[in-house]
Amino acid sequence: MESREFIEMARKVVDVEPRTRERGADEITDRLSAYSPSQASALATLLSAAAASEGEVSALESQLHAILELTSTGHVDLNHISQLHDIRLQDLPSQLREYVTDLLDS
């Protein structure tokens, strides 16, 4: 992926608008084969940080799904997504709790 495209993806992930963050996470999953190993791990790290502070359930779900998809590339390990530990599981709907638990257990 070209640098310009990568930066645009990163901007969407950290945008102030929840809908933009959600769309950004969804777009990340659409382009899994386009990322270099370092881009995949960097996006997973950004998504993890965004998810740890996300207040919108739909955006959080998209972020967690994108992280899960990025882990399938083989370029993301637990160190890249460690900020998921900051998420208060008891505050999440059960489906999202399972996402977080599965990611941290993998």
Three-class secondary structure assignment of 19-60 = HHHHHHHHHHHHCHHHCCHHHHHHHHHHHHHHHHCCCCHHHH
For each of the chain's 106 residues, which pLDDT tens digit applies?
Answer: 899 999 999 999 999 999 999 999 999 999 988 999 999 999 999 999 999 999 999 999 999 999 999 999 999 999 999 999 999 999 899 889 988 998 888 7
Q: Whole-prediction pTM value?
A: 0.92
Domain count, the chain: 1
**Amino acid (1-letter code) at residue 7:** I
- Owning domain of residue 39: 3-105
Residue with tokens 């390990």: 77
